[in-house]
Structure 1
Amino acid sequence: MENTSQEMKILSIDIGGTNVKATVLDQNGELLQEYKKVKTPDPANPEKLLEAINTLLKGFISYDKVSVGFPGYVKEGVIFTAPNLDTNLWKNVDLRKLISDSLKKPVRLVNDSDMQGLGVVSGKGLEMVITLGTGFGSALLLNGHLLPHLEIAQHPFTKNKTYDTYIGDEVLNDKGLVRWNKRMERVLKVLKRVFNYDRLYIGGGNADKLNFKLDDNIKIISNKDGIKGGSRLWLEDGLK
């Protein structure tokens, strides 16, 4: 007999440019399975990524549904861009179907920042989530519901640099922490002016490297917080 909603267990997978992370959640977003990760394969083509996911899941407890966050533009489970993996390897790939066929479970797949946003927002007002890692990710939610995804990372921030190339991992490693933080101060001022959010959440592997004072309505979040969005993804209307 199929589990009732009270018993539903959701496998939540977060695909990043550096690591693939996963856990199993209950319907309230509480972890039922130890949070684990493996290195993102290189090259990160669909076949190798599926192999990495299956390797990661060895020994996991059973689950009923699957939620996946992917670092790129996703529409109805199909990948359109993957700037921090390789768009040439991913364009028009129906990753939702590939994962569903591989795991034999129903799958919902969205941008990774969108899924993280579902896991951390308060559900009140206009809330924005950004992730600082290999690249720059973003999500917007209104009263706890996802708004259409915008690939802000690919929008020009300066005359010849996008958000990705202005504050991504390569910039941090090349320019150093002091100059990267100065750039981040500029970015946060622009985001505040453009979006007039009620709250901003900052996650990703580089979030804890911010060393200047943040506004009171800005909060640093962890990947473990964000992966909890996998449970709420199954409550979102209009997602297939």
Structure 2
Amino acid sequence: MTQALGIDIGGTGIKGAIVDTDTGKLVSARVKIATPKSGKPDAIVKVVVELVEKLGGLPESMPVGVCFPAVVRNGKTMSAANISKEWIGLEAEALFETALGRDIHFVNDADAAGIAEVRYGAAKDVPGLVLLTTLGTGIGSALIYNGTLVPNSELGHLTIGRQDAEKGASFSAKERRHLSWRAWAKRLQRYYTHLEVLFSPDLFLVGGGVSKSHEKFLPLLKLTTPIVPAQLRNNAGILGAAALAVRQ
């Protein structure tokens, strides 16, 4: 059994667990601590240290993966979603490594979720190009080709009809504008049709909390590409971060 610690830092909660990366099963309790309201680096790092302590003494040899809601380039956070703007341009991977006293693998949260779905979830054994989108406050995305991640795709920020895609098609846009499922599906149709034209994927995966209600909107979409709900839900970031840490 190959084990790794996966930590998922979100805008409202920070979650972590030890994972059997051969099977994608959690082998410890899942610990969750609220994300500090400030969202600032020192506050979030402090919570991550607390989370690791709650999980008990980890062997020094255990890989650790951390996923984060930002573009991550060479360990540096280049954006900030639902957290402090102080993260932009920060050497975040080094910050966490210093605080934890160990090396980590640091990755974008949607990328981690995509890897998890390919290895353990709805896209397992699917060849070719898998395109994951997470519909929530914004739109996250991950591109995985034959199991290899193309990082930081950020397809929620494509411009469609002079508008940033996530401003019109995210789940928060549905709630903000009080759209019916059918009216929201029309916006999603434009978005996914645009993705089909650009990438010709073999499979679309739809994640985010709204994927629990997939039967209310996915059947309304008319696409050439199969589109299915993600399976791993709240554990996807943990599983993907752990899996990528072992690969690294």
TM-score of Structure 1 vs Structure 2, range by shorter chain: 0.7 to 0.9
In structure 2, distance between residues paired with 1:176 and 1:22: 34
**Residue aligned with 1:166, SS:** helix
The residue identity in structure 2 corresponding to 1:16 is: G
How far 1:171 moved relative to its partner? 1.6
In structure 1, distance between residues paired with 2:174 and 2:166: 11
In the superposition, the TM-score normalised over structure 1's length comes to: 0.85
2:130 and 2:204 in contact (8 A); partners too: yes
How far 1:139 moved relative to its partner? 0.8
Q: CA RMSD in A?
A: 2.2
2:21 and 2:239 in contact (8 A); partners too: no
Once structures 1 and 2 are overlaid, which stretch shifts more, 56-65 or 123-132? Answer: 56-65
**Structure 2: where are the runs of 5+ without partners?**
119-123
- Which of 167, 176, 180 is the aligned partner of 2:178? 176
Aligned match of 1:82: 80
How far 1:12 moved relative to its partner? 0.6
Residue 24 (1) aligns with residue 18 (2): yes
Residue 206 (1) aligns with residue 210 (2): yes
- Which of 122, 137, 143 is the aligned partner of 2:140? 137
Aligned residue pairs, count: 229
Aligned match of 2:238: 227
Aligned match of 2:9: 15
The residue identity in structure 1 corresponding to 2:149 is: L
Decide whether aligned partners of structure 1 residues 67 and 177 sit closer, same or farther in structure 2, where only a CA change above 3 A counts: farther
2:112 and 2:236 in contact (8 A); partners too: no
- Which of 42, 56, 66 is the aligned partner of 1:47? 42
Write the deviation string for residues 129-171 of structure 1: whole angstroms up to 9, x where unpaired: 1111221110101110111422222232231x21232233542
Aligned match of 2:54: 59
Residue 115 (1) aligns with residue 119 (2): no
**Residue aligned with 2:193, SS:** helix
How far 1:59 moved relative to its partner? 2.4
In structure 2, distance between residues paired with 1:62 and 1:9: 14
1:201 and 1:218 in contact (8 A); partners too: yes
The residue identity in structure 2 corresponding to 1:208 is: K
- Which of 188, 191, 208 is the aligned partner of 1:187? 191
The residue identity in structure 2 corresponding to 1:202 is: V
**Residue aligned with 1:52, SS:** helix
In structure 2, distance between residues paired with 1:205 and 1:183: 18
How far 1:107 moved relative to its partner? 0.4
Decide whether aligned partners of structure 1 residues 169 and 19 sit closer, same or farther in structure 2, where only a CA change above 3 A counts: farther
How far 1:58 moved relative to its partner? 4.2
Aligned match of 1:218: 227
2:136 and 2:172 in contact (8 A); partners too: no
Aligned match of 2:128: 125
In the superposition, the TM-score normalised over structure 2's length comes to: 0.82
How far 1:177 moved relative to its partner? 4.5
In structure 1, distance between residues paired with 2:64 and 2:82: 23
Structure with more of its chain in helix, by fraction: 2
In structure 1, distance between residues paired with 2:68 and 2:149: 15
Decide whether aligned partners of structure 1 residues 36 and 142 sit closer, same or farther in structure 2, where only a CA change above 3 A counts: same
The residue identity in structure 1 corresponding to 2:28 is: Q
Residue 69 (1) aligns with residue 67 (2): yes
